[in-house]
Amino acid sequence: MVLRDVANDYHNWVTSSAQKWDVEIVDPPEGRRDDFVEPCFRQAQPGNRDPTKCVHRWENRGVMMLRPVSLVCAAFAFGPLASPVLPQLAIPVGESAPLLAPAIDRDGRILAFGAAVNSDGTIRNVPDLWIWNAANNAARRLTNYASTGGSYAVTSFALSADGSQVAYVASALGGQMGEIHVIGAASGSDRLLASDKQGCVQPMVVCPACFFPCVHDPRFTADGRILYATSRSQPFYLASADGTVTPLPVYSGYLASGPRRVVSDNGLVVFVSSAPSSPTNAAAPLNVYLVNLDGSGLRNLTQFSSVNVYVQDAVISADGGMIAFAGNGGSTDASAPLRIFTIKADGTGLRQLTSETDYAYNPSLSGDGSLVAFVQSGQIKVLPTGGGSPASSLTSFRYSTAQDAFISDDASQVAFTIGPKGGRGAIYEASVTGGASHAVYAPVSLNSGGVLGVAGWETPSPGSLISLYGLNFSGDEAVVASSFPLLATLDNVSLLVNGEAVPVEAVTPWQINAQLPQNTPPGSVTFQVVSNGVSSNAVTEQILSSAASVFGFPEQGAQAGTVYWQAAAFHAGTGTPADLTHPAAAGEILETYGSGLGQTNPTVPAGEPSPASPLAWAIVIPQVTIGSQPAQVAFVGLVPGLAGVYQINVAVPDGLTPGQQSLNWTYDNRGASIFVK
């Protein structure tokens, strides 16, 4: 029975993750599961980007596809987000710069959040706790675990209603032990309430440089105690000021993620569970439950009976009268989108507030329960819980997505995060009554390991286009150079390479495309972004003299529902790819495009289009293979009329088996393919 409960919990976790991060869950075919799972894990690596195949948002380097319309590299500017901001459930160590979802006080004047990036963009090895006050519009770090070697990290927290205190969990690396602390927001006085050493089973997720805390989700109660959760059976505990820890009589359950309210002022705790009292003998539906802080009065509010029902993130108003949650509406279709629901604390008045096909999630209630804030379509929205009015959108981001809505008790402000899809890059606040949202904490920062060749996986090389990934390079806009030569500043953004500005080709909030000059020396090279006069942290990366890599793009495979990585290889003079419907013939010349061929003769200045006469030939000629056979090379050099894009004309060798064949330049073996007759 215990194993069945664990399996149910895992199923619910997978379903939640897939719905929240908008990825498909694929059932394994008949046969050995390892034969299916291992290729999925390979696809989660940075160079193998097939987001339709596996749930791999937790993978440390992550996946993000940016397709800026580029003057220089046309449709080939694809790239993985190197070391992205990760969701709060996984705590990365070292390379990434996560933010923890914000909390806001009852008046919307004080915000608390977690960050592993300083205001100057410096990446820290673990997250610490920060506080922001509208009175001086300044953010201040409250804890400093990163400076102690990073053996502990702030992994979750909650802000008291008056903004005077923050309760937080300091987790030991590995996640097995967690400490419950309370710290003064003004004084910084920190006291340890409890230490939990019981541990938990870590999820089997591909995340080699992160951990999942066993202790999480602390919340203040009206009488000053701290409710917190653990990732094991009998998960909920109350810690008193004298260090006494009392378990709640709940067998299993989940609190809403992040710092949103789950404890009302009159002592009601709301949570989600499929087995609140004891292990179950069969699969059981998830429901929303209430229990009193003294452990009495456990009751099922929603009374869903289908195991296809999914609910998550149940929150409660300060007055204890209203509960909101996200769910699939009691539908027997487990793939139904998440929507926002409310129900009264007495179990009456179940109401579906949203009905659109886009997922709605992450609800947060005002103090009196009259207004709910939530996330939908990458925007922050608010809606009266009484119904009858359409949702109002507080944001209109185009190149960022918002998440982690938290509305103040007085319903004046909503705090939230923005970032690339599925990630967190800045803390924002918006007024419920209207007006533009504004950044509370938005450091300009380069990700460690966040400089790659524009093909998306290769090491940068002289003369080639590069992509840089990080935080808050620009406002909510994508700006692409419109003419040659490319300039050293675009949209008030510059990139310094070893202290010298280089031509910038495209700028978004989370990615910059630029060109390295051909005279950039191989070896250790320092990169730094300057945005509107604000300098980021400096990152040192390795540059190779050449790193030949063919471009690729996703295409529909021969079998329904499959996707493969089509090489940027075209029938000569046609612009038609050598794909499934247009296979190449033996002896035919293909024009292939990519990155990383290094210096040319003649040398073409960075930012200038390559000439048509004389052609700029690559000095180092790479080997090109189609299938397992070397392909004869006819031309190797820069594409005339473009900057930093290379072309290799190759002849399709004889003797290849008809069908899909890999096409590789020297540096990479990433599985880009063409089709041959």
Mean pLDDT (whole number) for 432-442 = 93
Centroid of chain to Cα 639: 35
For residue 421, name the pLDDT band (cuts at 50, 70, 90): confident
Q: Where are the alpha helices (DSSP H) in 401-550?
A: none
Residue 445: phi and psi, rounded to 5, are: -145, 140
3-state secondary structure 181-193: EEEECCCCCEEEE
Which of 393, 413, 432 is the last residue before a domain boundary? 393
Residue with tokens 């002022």: 265
Q: What pLDDT is attached to residue 78? A: 26
Decide if pLDDT at 498 tops 50: yes
Decide if pLDDT at 161 tops 50: yes
For residue 146, name the pLDDT band (cuts at 50, 70, 90): confident
Residues in the chain: 677
Mean pLDDT (whole number) for 439-443 = 97
In a domain, 647, yes or no: yes
Q: CA-to-CA distance for 92 and 255, rounded, in angstroms?
A: 22
For residue 148, name the pLDDT band (cuts at 50, 70, 90): confident
pTM, 2 dp: 0.85
Residue with tokens 């002592």: 267
Q: What pLDDT is attached to residue 556? A: 82
Over the stretch 249-282, which tens digit does the pLDDT of each residue have? Answer: 999 999 999 999 999 999 999 999 999 999 887 7
In a domain, 303, yes or no: yes
For residue 667, name the pLDDT band (cuts at 50, 70, 90): low
In a domain, 23, yes or no: no
For residue 329, name the pLDDT band (cuts at 50, 70, 90): confident
Over the stretch 355-413, which tens digit does the pLDDT of each residue have? Answer: 888 899 999 999 999 999 999 999 999 999 998 889 999 999 999 999 999 999 999 99
Over the stretch 62-73, which tens digit does the pLDDT of each residue have? Answer: 222 222 223 333
Over the stretch 527-547, which tens digit does the pLDDT of each residue have? Answer: 999 999 999 999 999 999 999
For residue 28, name the pLDDT band (cuts at 50, 70, 90): very low
Rounded percentage of the chain residues whose pLDDT exceeds 70: 83
Q: What pLDDT is attached to residue 582? A: 95
Q: What pLDDT is attached to residue 562? A: 82
| Domain encompassing residue 627 | 549-676
Mean pLDDT (whole number) for 601-626 = 95
Decide if pLDDT at 3 tops 90: no
Q: Which two tokens stand for residue 291?
A: 């229990």
**Beta strands of 221-370 (E only): which ranges?**
226-230, 236-239, 245-247, 268-273, 287-292, 299-300, 311-316, 322-327, 339-344, 351-352, 360-365
Q: What pLDDT is attached to residue 434? A: 84
Q: CA-to-CA distance for 380 and 274, rounded, in angstroms?
A: 29
Total structural domains within the chain: 2
Q: What pLDDT is attached to residue 176? A: 87
Q: By CB neighbour count within 10 A (0-12 exposed, 13-18 middle, 19+ buried), where does 156 fall?
A: buried
Q: What pLDDT is attached to residue 619? A: 96
- How much is the mean pLDDT over the chain? 84
For residue 82, name the pLDDT band (cuts at 50, 70, 90): very low
Decide if pLDDT at 29 tops 50: no
Over the stretch 605-614, which tens digit does the pLDDT of each residue have? Answer: 999 999 999 9
Q: What pLDDT is attached to residue 145? A: 92
- Highest mean pLDDT out of 23-37, 162-176, 286-300: 286-300
Decide if pLDDT at 125 tops 80: yes
Pairing of strands 552-556, 549-550: unpaired
In a domain, 372, yes or no: yes
For residue 46, name the pLDDT band (cuts at 50, 70, 90): very low
In a domain, 623, yes or no: yes
Q: What pLDDT is attached to residue 8? A: 45
Q: What pLDDT is attached to residue 43? A: 31
Minimum mean pLDDT range among 25-39, 126-140, 649-663: 25-39
Residue 225 Rama label (left phi>0; alpha psi -120 to 50; beta)? beta
Better pLDDT: 450 or 50: 450
In a domain, 67, yes or no: no
Mean pLDDT (whole number) for 53-68 = 25
Which of 369, 393, 417 is the last residue before a domain boundary? 393
- Residue pair 361/424 in contact by the 8 Å Cβ criterion: no
Q: What pLDDT is attached to residue 42? A: 30
Q: What pLDDT is attached to residue 34? A: 33
What is the layout of strands, in order, in the sheet containing 426-431?
Answer: 401-407, 413-419, 426-431, 438-441
In a domain, 517, yes or no: no
Pairing of strands 311-316, 339-344: unpaired
Nearest to 600 by CA among 460, 462, 500: 462
Which of 350, 374, 393 is the last residue before a domain boundary? 393
Tell me, what CATH number does 311's domain have? 2.120.10.30
**Beta strands of 351-492 (E only): which ranges?**
351-352, 360-365, 371-376, 379-384, 392-393, 401-407, 413-419, 426-431, 438-441, 445-453, 465-471, 479-480, 489-490
In a domain, 107, yes or no: no
